Amino acid sequence: MKHNLKHLLTFFSILAVFFAATAPVSAQTIKDGNYRTIGYIKSDGTVQDGSYRTIGYIKSNGTLQDGSYRTVGYLKDNGTVQNANYSTIGYIKSDGTVQNGSYRTIGYVKSDGTVQDGNYRTIGHVSGVKRHWAAAFFFFDFW
């Protein structure tokens, strides 16, 4: 009996490792202003379109890549958004205000997940997506 219990525990340990390795990375849904799903951003930074096709990556260091792993931009810790040539193309403030490179407000990512353009029209909805990731998706045309 003791021998069988040991094998059973080993089996369950292997099973637990297998399921942990194959568990999907959770994705947050990105919707347009009419609540239609237009994309997903996984917790690991993988960006997908509405058909789950990978279209880009947001790396932990702020590097933005397209679906072929080519660098297309950068999200800096201070909220600065740069293109692949390190030219500043925008800013994302801590309150969710999004500005272009000339400091003109072009949108907002509200704390409730509502995404608005510069005229306060709702253009999208996100839930659980980091504000700067949502801003990169909606306002800076990286993907």
85-127, pLDDT tens digit by residue? 999 999 999 999 999 999 999 999 999 999 999 999 999 999 8
What confidence category does residue 23 fall into, taking pLDDT thresholds of 50, 70 and 90? very low
pTM given for the model: 0.79
Domains of the chain, first to last? 25-139 (2.40.160.200)
Q: Are 109 and 135 in contact, with CB atoms under 8 Å apart?
A: yes
Q: Which two tokens stand for residue 5?
A: 């219990």
Q: Are 48 and 40 in contact, with CB atoms under 8 Å apart?
A: yes
Using CA atoms of 31, 33, 34, 40 in order, give the dihedral in degrees to the nearest 10: -10
Q: Are 41 and 127 in contact, with CB atoms under 8 Å apart?
A: no
Amino acid at 50: G
